[in-house]
């Protein structure tokens, strides 16, 4: 099991883009991409800022949880491992300590349907997973519960995790999620926002099931 040069380059570019988008600073956060249907994946290394990494520093991980690279994997490898095992549609994962997402996570706030774009992440809310120490199985278990029927969640007193079809999609969703977190935070400064009704959000969730997909003619 190994990753191609293109896969290594894509993951490194994603990690660097996370910093450029202000999702992360220094060695905080991590990213990964799925390598195969067996649950193997490629993940960023622990303790190295993306700017100091090369493509060779990206770490292949087996479905058994064993690393196969020269570097040690991110301390959050269990979280990535378990998401790939449980969510076959996940092709890449971004975990970040983005400012507004983290501010809300430190308040342990679920993000309610204050804006219809919340539906982009799979439902009428984005949940906040309970707190557990970073890198532990307990954190992974809590995150998986919060991600049920969702592709994003907050991690209490920690940050965010988002998955997508591939690295570009996961990064775009993470940036969009951080923007929504900022909008919600700013709205709270004016008071409690007016929330969309359950039926209104159900209609949006249904529309997102086909939004952006190719349409058949005829």
What pLDDT, in 10s, does the model give residues 39-56? 999 999 999 999 999 999
Say which of 51, 76, 182, 200 is annotated catalytic. 76
76 is catalytic: yes
pLDDT averaged over every residue in the chain: 94
Which of 54, 43, 18, 22 lies closest to 171 in space, CA to CA? 18
113 has a pLDDT exceeding 90:
yes
pTM over 0.85: yes
How many other CB atoms sit within 10 Å of the CB of residue 8? 21
Query: Rounded CA gap, 124 and 111, in Å?
Result: 9
pLDDT tens figures, 182-195: 999 999 999 999 99
With pLDDT > 70 as the criterion, what percentage of the chain qualifies? 95
Classify residue 206 as exposed, middle or buried by CB count within 10 Å of its CB (0-12, 13-18, 19+): exposed
Of the pLDDT bands very low, low, confident and very high (cuts 50, 70, 90), residue 171 is very high
pLDDT for the residue 34: 98
In this structure, whether the domain defined by 5-208 belongs to CATH 2.60.40.10 is answered with: no
């Amino acid at each position: 099991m190994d990753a191609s040069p293109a896969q290594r380059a894509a993951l490194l570019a994603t990690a660097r883009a996370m910093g450029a988008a202000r999702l992360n600073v220094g060695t905080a956060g991590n990213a990964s991409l799925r390598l195969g249907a067996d649950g193997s994946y490629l993940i960023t290394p622990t303790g190295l800022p993306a700017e100091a990494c090369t493509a060779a520093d990206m770490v292949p991980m087996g479905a058994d949880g064993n690393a196969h690279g020269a570097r040690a994997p991110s301390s959050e490898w269990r979280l990535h491992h378990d998401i790939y095992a449980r969510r076959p549609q996940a092709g890449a994962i971004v975990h970040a300590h983005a400012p507004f997402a983290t501010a809300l996570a430190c308040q342990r706030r679920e993000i309610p349907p204050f804006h219809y774009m919340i539906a982009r992440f799979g439902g009428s809310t984005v949940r906040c997973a309970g707190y557990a120490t970073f890198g532990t199985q307990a954190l992974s278990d809590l995150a998986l519960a919060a991600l049920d029927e969702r592709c994003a969640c907050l991690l209490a007193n920690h940050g965010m995790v988002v998955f997508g079809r591939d690295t570009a999609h996961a990064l775009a969703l993470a940036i969009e999620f951080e923007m929504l977190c900022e909008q919600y935070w700013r709205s709270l400064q004016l008071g409690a926002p007016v929330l969309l009704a359950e039926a209104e959000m159900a209609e949006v969730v249904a529309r997102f099931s086909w939004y952006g997909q190719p349409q058949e003619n005829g």
